[in-house]
Amino acid sequence: MATGRCLCGAVSYEVRGPMRDVLMCHCIECRRWHGHVSAYTAVARDDLVLVEQRGLRWFDSPDSDLNARRGFCAECGSSLFWEGAGRATISIAAGTLDAPTGLRTAGHWYVSQVGDYYELSDDGLPRRSRGSGSGSDSDITSLTQIPPSNPTGRVRSPHPVRPGPGEPTSQELLDAEREDRI
């Protein structure tokens, strides 16, 4: 089971299902919300369990074409969640997850709105203009899907984490956590 929280701990959560790999969003709203590019995973709504929510507040995203709202901690200001109206999933800011996540960056959204202060490197990942009217979703649609239910409860990713020499694998860390060894 994955866990995460805001900077001060006034919002903490558990993820009790599979997570989608991370999408980088370059839209103006995300850049203003996060101070730069956003990095989000996503889970089925029912798989996100709020353990502590005293600081959680929601803000309607003013220019969202999906009538989204954004969840943040009112005590420390951490941006945590993105939720599109009527969607079966909720997005979680990847930086709020506790390591190891087992996730990898899968693609870029809203590349037509990349800030003028940085360049999008040629990382070989799929890109979607989104909002510019050009391109199609076919290059990134499969990346927005959450993997099928995982009966083991372990976080899965199509890209396994490769530890450095002498470091435990992600599975070893998860097993140790379950056995309260760490």
pLDDT at residue 143 in the model = 52
Per-residue pLDDT averaged across 68-90, rounded?
A: 95
| CA 109/CA 38 separation, integer angstroms | 10
| DSSP line for 11-69 | SEEEE-S--PPEEEE--HHHHHHHSS-EEEEEEEGGGEEEEE-TTEEEEE-TT-TT--E
174: left (phi over 0), alpha (psi -120 to 50) or beta: alpha
Q: What is the CATH number for 93?
A: 2.170.150.70
Does position 42 have pLDDT exceeding 70, yes or no? yes
Does position 128 have pLDDT exceeding 70, yes or no? yes
Domain that holds residue 157: 2-178
| DSSP line for 118-135 | S-----S--B---SSS-S
- Which tops the pLDDT comparison, 19 or 179? 19
Q: Which DSSP state fits 97?
A: B
Which three-class secondary structure state does DSSP give residue 138?
A: helix
Phi and psi torsions of 30, nearest 5°? -65, -40
- Which tops the pLDDT comparison, 63 or 165? 63
What would you report as the CA-atom Rg of the chain, rounded to the nearest whole angstrom?
A: 17
Number of domains in the chain: 1
Query: Residue holding tokens 């109206």?
Result: 85
Does position 66 have pLDDT exceeding 90, yes or no? no
| CA 121/CA 88 separation, integer angstroms | 32
